[in-house]
Amino acid sequence: MSDHAFVWGVRVLTSNRAYRGVGTGNGTDTRVAAEKAVNEALRPLEGRQPDLVLVYASVRYDLQTVLKTVNAAAGPAVIAGATSSGQLHNGKLTEPGDGIAVLALAGGGYRFGLGHATGVQADATRAGRSLARAALDAVGPERSPHEAVLIFSDGLAGDQQELLNGIHKVTGFQIPVVGGAAADDRNLAETFVFAGDKVLRDAAVAIWIGSDRPLRVIGGHGWQPTSLPLMLSGVDGQIVRELGGRPALEVYKENFRPRVTDHKLYPRAGGYHSEHAFGLIQPDGSLLIRGAFIDSDGDLRTFSPLPPFSAVQVVSCDAEDLLEVGERVVAGVVEAEEPAVVLVFDCVARLDILGERGHEEARRLQRAAGNAPTFGYYTYGEFARTTGVAGYHNATIAAMAL
């Protein structure tokens, strides 16, 4: 199936002062939870029309009702979002399996253009290019001094790095990209993204953001190598068959930290154990983290294909590593001028490792953000592209301030 791109209206803001509100709702009644979340988010705007509304929701809800409720209250705002595996907001954590979170933003001198594209599974590169072009067309011919692209993708559809490659064909290397892949409360079954009043699968959504002030994107992971560099000598799509000419699963397990060799910590669906992953070695020596799991056939798989004959390391981490790097990432996007909000995209694998300390992470991220509220969700992959083309991550935290 070929991709289809859609251009939505642009919201052009003239006020330099930003007004924002964050609202949450939970419980079993979708309409009641959505109404509570959106009304709570709109209240601090004091009657102003929101220009940007972001919506994150558990897949347990009737998603079409969620969007219908938000659209009715928010009017002609740019509305986008995704399903999640838990949410972060104002120093609080909503655990996977429950909750709707809404951010409403008005003013701030921003320009927003919304677009979406389908057909990610069939041709992720083409979908990414069409998606970015649609969002750019929506923001209009007038360009801003500073720009960024915020994206949400179906977390179980297609090659996410290829989607980013397609976006890069439109943005070039100067425009940063940030966002997250949709999740589904750890079920690994079906994820959705939101554009306006549409609930979409096999799709991605982009918001082109224009600003008079710099828009800084930062990502970080806190993982450390437990192996020497290894060559991917046998790769079949998402299956890693050989590492350095040896059976991949055997080499992978050899490099587990001794304290988790029983394979019982942090299990996930499909044989996934969050505490170990691959670090794809970049030209500058940094690592892009790629989650790995053992499938029902006993094969070692990654969530996104790894390039054949590239160099990787097995990596691991502990909770304190993750907490510290999260604080640094959020602090790094908060500059001297206090932002209206800090957008956070945090991998659910990090939450698995943190366990009960997940609530501590939410508090520490908010502390790093100061008076600006944090607003984010737990993802199945994060986007943080600032230089070059690569910028899709697993088990990483990414942030941008507005």
Above 70 in pLDDT, residue 263?
Answer: no
> What whole-number distance in Å separates Cα of residue 267 and Cα of residue 62?
28
Question: For 67-91, what is each residue's pLDDT tens digit?
Answer: 999 999 999 999 999 999 999 999 9
Percent of the chain with pLDDT over 70: 92
pLDDT band for position 17 (50/70/90)?
Answer: confident
Question: For 94-120, what is each residue's pLDDT tens digit?
Answer: 999 999 999 999 998 999 999 999 999
What does the pLDDT read at residue 274? 67
How distant is the alpha carbon of residue 234 from its chain centre?
29
30 burial level (CB within 10 Å; 0-12, 13-18, 19+): buried
Residues 69/102, Cβ–Cβ less than 8 Å: no
> What whole-number distance in Å separates Cα of residue 83 and Cα of residue 185?
8
Higher-confidence position of 29 and 238: 29
Question: For 186-199, what is each residue's pLDDT tens digit?
Answer: 998 999 999 999 99
Above 90 in pLDDT, residue 231?
Answer: yes
Above 50 in pLDDT, residue 264?
Answer: no
Nearest 5°: CA angle at 269, between 265 and 274? 40
